[in-house]
Amino acid sequence: EPEVTQTPSHQVTQMGQEVILRCVPISNHLYFYWYRQILGQKVEFLVSFYNNEISEKSEIFDDQFSVERPDGSNFTLKIRSTKLEDSAMYFCASSARRELNEQFFGPGTRLTVL
Amino acid sequence: AQKVTQAQTEISVVEKEDVTLDCVYETRDTTYYLFWYKQPPSGELVFLIRRNSFDEQNEISGRYSWNFQKSTSSFNFTITASQVVDSAVYFCALRHGSSNTGKLIFGQGTTLQVKP
């Protein structure tokens, strides 16, 4: 069964460093998303991406964040200068069509900023 | 307002008990979609069900059932004869029909502990 994959599973970084979180969505999906979950809290929307551009972003998704689909398979989230409060689980998700919108989530990347 | 409320933070039951997880939502849209996701201790988010606002028929899938009531803006989830493997955090989520992005709005989650 096709699934969303994410690498790495755990990333530890120093405050101020850049990190890139990688995702491989399900191959025939067209809509891509990043969400984050601070430990013990709810899952929060960060950004949606369709047709090679951002279609919506949340207030959390400030200038320090960017997304890219560099090739036909990968979808990346970059944080330019990490802050302590960026420590969270980051989930990538994809869906085949917006209307059907069963978003299938990857296993997440746990980001720890020291 | 666009909001999902899961008032139950934690629920603890003994195996084989039935348990209902509550979800109340707020939206101005007439078309919307509701979801339940399960987050087991391993951390991934597992899709359980999607419901369209224009379809109020309740659904049963094995030990799981969902009760959607537009009149009370609720989409409750019942597990019958709970098992230890049901222990997880359960999230209810909302997507507006007017959203052109598919953004999901999640509730705070309910932690279910099923004891043997």
pLDDT confidence of residue A70: 85
Kindly indicate the confidence band of residue B45, based on its pLDDT and cuts at 50, 70 and 90: very high
Query: What is the C-alpha to C-alpha distance for residues B116 and B109, in angstroms, rounded to an integer?
Result: 22
* Cα dihedral across residues A55, A57, A62, A67: positive or negative: negative
The predicted pLDDT at position A107 comes to: 94
Contacts of B109 in chain A (CB under 8 A): 42-43
Per-residue b or e along A66-105, where b marks 16 or more CB atoms closer than 10 Å to that residue's CB: ebebeeeeebebebeebeeebbbbbbbbbbbebeebebbb
**Shortest Cα distance, chain B CAs vs residue A107, angstroms:** 4
Q: Is the pLDDT of residue B109 over 80?
A: yes
Of the candidates A56, A91, A102, the beta carbon closest to that of B103 is on A56
Contacts of A93 in chain B (CB under 8 A): 45
> Region B51-80: what's the mean pLDDT?
90
Residues 6+ apart with CB under 8 A from A59: none
- Which parts of chain A have pLDDT scores under 50? none
How much is the pLDDT for A101? 65
Amino acid at position A98, single letter: R
Report chain A residues whose CB lies below 8 A from the CB of B91. 42-43
> What pLDDT does residue B58 have?
80
